[in-house]
Every structure is written in C-alpha cells, then in structure tokens.
Amino acid sequence: MTKFSACLAAIILCSLSAWSMEIRAQAVPFDSDRWEIQATESKVLDYMGRRSLYLKGGAAIVKDSQFTDGVIEFDISFTEAQGFMGAFWRMQDADNYEEFYIRPHQSGQADANQYQPVFNGVASWQLYYGANYSAAVKYDFNQWLHVKLVISGKSMEVYLKDMDTPALFVSEQKRELKQGRVGLSVGSFAPAYYSNFSFTPMNNPPLKGKAKAPEATPAGMIMSWLISSPIEGKSLEEKYQLTEADKQKLSWRKFECESTGIANLARLQGLKDGRNTVFARLVIQSEREQFKKIKFGFSDEVKAYFNDRLIYGASDIWRSRDHRFLGTISLFDDLYLPLKKGDNELWLAITENFGGWGVKALMENMDGIRIKE
C-alpha cells in the first residue's frame, strides 16, 4: 500500500468512526414522549431562542434510556440564586443513581459543583467533597452553559464551557457499574432551563485525564464495622445506659469501609418510618488497663456508648452552627477510651438528617490492643 493509500484509508476510517459515534448520539427533544417528568414545576417553552425545559424541584427522566458508559451533553441556564441543578445516569430507580450538579451560588468557589452517588434515597455530598468531587468554575448567569459528561467505567470527566479541557476529573464513581436510565434534575431551590439534551452510549470512551492512585491508608484506620439494624434516633433521648433489652432488638452485619476509611451507611439502607439511626460497633481487645485515643468523624449526629455507658454526643447537621457550616465528614472529633483488660465495646449511634450518612475512625496507637473481627 502506498503512503497516499494508507493516509486515505486512515481518513476514511476516522470519518466512519466519527459518523458511527454521531449516529449513536440520541438527541431527545423536550416535547418528546420519551420524557417522564416528576417535578413541582415544569414546562416546555421557548427560552432565549431555543425550545427548552423549565424545571424546578424534581427530575426529567428519559424513560426508555439504557446507559452505562458514554457521553451526556446539554445546555443549561440559571440565575445566581442558590440552586442545585444537573444530570444523573445509571439510574436504577428514583433512589439509586450517580449525579453531577451545579451550585450557581458558589460560582468561582471550590465547591461550585458536585459529583455524588445516591444510595437508597440518601444524597452523600457530605462524605465526598474536595478536589476529587468538585471544581472551582466561574459561571455566566442567564446565559446558555454547555455541559458535557464523559463517563468511562469508574472514572468520569466534566466539561463546563471549555470543551477541550475538563473542569473536573472524578477518579472513582462510587456506585456499581450497572446500566440504568439518564436524565436531568433540579432541587427545590432555584429553577433551571435546559436545552439540546443528548446522550451517547458507548463502551469505555477515552478520557484525557488519568485516575489518581489511591492514597495509602493510614495505620490504625478502621476499615470495617459491625452495623446494626436501623432504629429511631429519638429512642435514644435520655438513654444513658444500654441494657440487654436494648441490644436484643438489634441484628448485625459486618460492613467494609471504602479505601478512604469512610463507611457510607446508606449503602445498607435508606431512611424509612423514622428509622434514621444505626449503631456502628467496634470490639477492642486490650492487653491491660489503659487509655487510648480514637479520632472519628460522623454525619450527621452521634451518641457514643462505651461499655454500654453514654460518654459523648455531638451534631454536625448542615447549617446547624452557622449558615456556612457544611457538616462534611473527617477525623475532627476525639474520644479517650478508658480500656479495661479484655474486650471493650464502642457503639457509635449515627443519625442521618441530610447530605450523607457515614462514619470514619482511626486509632492513633494500636500498641497493646487489637480490633476483633
């Protein structure tokens, strides 16, 4: 084959490949019957020269979509008012999906947007925050902003305005790789307008970035817990001592933490019938009487029982301290445990309010102790 023929063949192959990708893209007009809209406010209208969807307080789902990996694109317009608007994918049902959304009121700030998984109806941005999950982007208000999500296996890239350089690279999406539906969502605060929505299912689309190597797990990080069946948090009001009768009502299962040490408790269950609390239990075997420090974080409220006695309580509910307080989880709290020789039990009653249900802990010094499985 001559050099000319080889070049011609390459051009044809690239053209066919691009054409193939193009025809796989599914543009879904908002007046199509493929949409299922469940929202407090929605209407299809002409806005800024385009046929658009106005949406507030709900979701618009492409009801016959099948999507695991690929590209999702749309244009969005919003004001500077507080709001949460974006897209979701791999939706199994109304309570389980992956999501990316924009925070217009945080324009230019580190948390101007957010990737989060939703498990059993519980959002989890308080567990997943920082550079791996959001990026500083300055928005233009009351204009069309183009958004492109490239989803490939566990990783994804988010393009906002600039379609050449991703604004955000997410190394690890948290839900399982399972086909589901796609769609758009807006919280109950400010509304948004959408236009030019399309999605392109494709296997492992290439990404410009690379997944970061996971950070080494610090020594002493608690990597599994015994988690109880859920209870009503209010049942622990003025409960200063756990009794055998309290314990007999519970069932237990071992729960493995993520590589970061976070136990996302919503993976196990959602919030139903007021049962918003579980116990996260550790059995600490000590060689002698001694004090040990444990650092921990929780979302959103905690009561700590040590050898059945209440020794600590705290609340990290969103905005519970001031209007800027986020209630994100990390190793912010300390307990000093008076260990007896033999087995000791630490029970953390973790109550969810909003934004993430989780616990994380680290024993700074493991000398003379071990965590029993």
CA separation for the pair 86, 74 (Å, rounded): 9
CA separation for the pair 231, 226 (Å, rounded): 15
Tell me whether domains 25-201 and 224-372 share a fold: yes
Q: What is the pLDDT of residue 336?
A: 98
Over its C-alpha atoms, the chain yields an Rg (Å, rounded) of 24
Q: What is the pLDDT of residue 62?
A: 98
Q: Which pTM does this prediction carry?
A: 0.91
Indicate the SS3 state at residue 116: strand
Number of H-type helices and E-type strands within the chain: 2, 23
Of 23, 62, 181, residue with least CA distance to 53: 62
Pull the structure tokens for residue 172: 């690890």
Strands (E), 162-272: 168-170, 181-186, 192-201, 224-228, 252-256, 263-264
Q: What is the pLDDT along the chain (373 residues), one digit of tens a residue?
A: 454 444 434 433 444 344 344 447 899 999 999 999 999 999 999 999 999 999 999 999 999 999 999 999 999 999 999 999 999 999 999 999 999 999 999 999 999 999 999 999 999 999 999 999 999 999 999 999 999 999 999 999 999 999 999 999 999 999 999 999 999 999 999 999 999 999 999 999 999 988 777 788 999 999 999 999 999 999 999 999 999 999 999 999 999 999 999 999 999 999 999 999 999 999 999 999 999 999 999 999 999 999 999 999 999 998 889 888 899 999 999 999 999 999 999 999 999 999 999 999 999 999 999 999 8
Architecture of domain 224-372: Sandwich (2.60)
Compute φ and ψ for 287, nearest 5 degrees: -75, -20
- Every domain of the chain and the residues it spans: 25-201, 224-372
Q: What is the pLDDT of residue 4?
A: 42
Pull the structure tokens for residue 267: 């993976």
Compute φ and ψ for 300, nearest 5 degrees: -115, -25
Residue 18: CB partners within 8 Å, gap ≥ 6? none
Size of the chain in residues: 373
Residue 17 and residue 24 in contact, taking contact as beta carbons nearer than 8 Å:
no
Residue 225, beta-bridge partner list: 255
Indicate the CATH number for domain 25-201.
Answer: 2.60.120.560
Of 373, 223, 361, residue with least CA distance to 292: 361
Distance of alpha carbon 29 from its chain centroid, rounded? 29
